[in-house]
Every structure is written in structure tokens, then in C-alpha cells.
Amino acid sequence: MVRIVLTELGMVMGEQHTGNPGMICLKEPRALQMQPEVGADGQPTGQNTYKFLMLLGNPKGLEVGRDRLNYDVTDENLLRAYKECVTGLTLVGNSGGMGTIIRAH
């Protein structure tokens, strides 16, 4: 399950895993920046651009207190962008009945 946690750093996204029972433990954490896309007319398009930043030192995990605002990520575009950032693979499309096709960067 991929979660977003609001920390002192801002929004951090990562895959939740078991660890310290009093903490939210995230694997492969990334700082998340979201910006609304703007059309040629200067008006918001209703879509967002996601930018993931590695944390200083590129930690493999991050633990934060359970008192932090946190929630499951359900937006498929955001999940895909996070997975592409962490794995270095890009989702290309669906191959009919053959499963998902991926392309390495």
C-alpha cells in the first residue's frame, strides 16, 4: 500500500511496510511536489504535474509518528508516476490479454 504522509519536509510518498509499531514506516520514500498544469490560455487544465525528489542521502526507508496526517494513494496516475520514479520503468500500455508492457529507461 502506497501512502502520502505530511511531514516537516512537506508531502512524502512511499510504500508502507511493517516496522516500529508506533510509527508509519515508508519504503523508498520520495518528497512529492504537485503543480496544476496550465493550458495555453493560462488557465488550469484540471490535471496535475507530479515531481518526485529523492530525500537527502537517498534513504531506503523513513519512519514518522502515527500522529502525522497520512492516507492511502488511490489516484492511478500518481501511483504510476511514483512506481516509475522508484523502479526506473515506464508503463507503455496494455497488450490486450498479454498483460502490461513496460519499458526500461
What domain range includes position 88? 2-104
pLDDT (0 to 100) of residue 93 = 60
For residue 60, the one-letter residue type is K
Contacts of 53 (CB under 8 A, 6+ apart): 30, 31, 32, 33
pLDDT (0 to 100) of residue 12 = 96
pLDDT (0 to 100) of residue 91 = 65
**SS3 readout for 8-70:** CCEEEEEEEECCCCCEEEEEEEEEEEEEEEECCCCCEEEEEEEEEEECCCCCCEEEEECCCCE
Low-confidence ranges of the chain (pLDDT < 70): 91-105
Domain count, the chain: 1
pLDDT (0 to 100) of residue 94 = 54
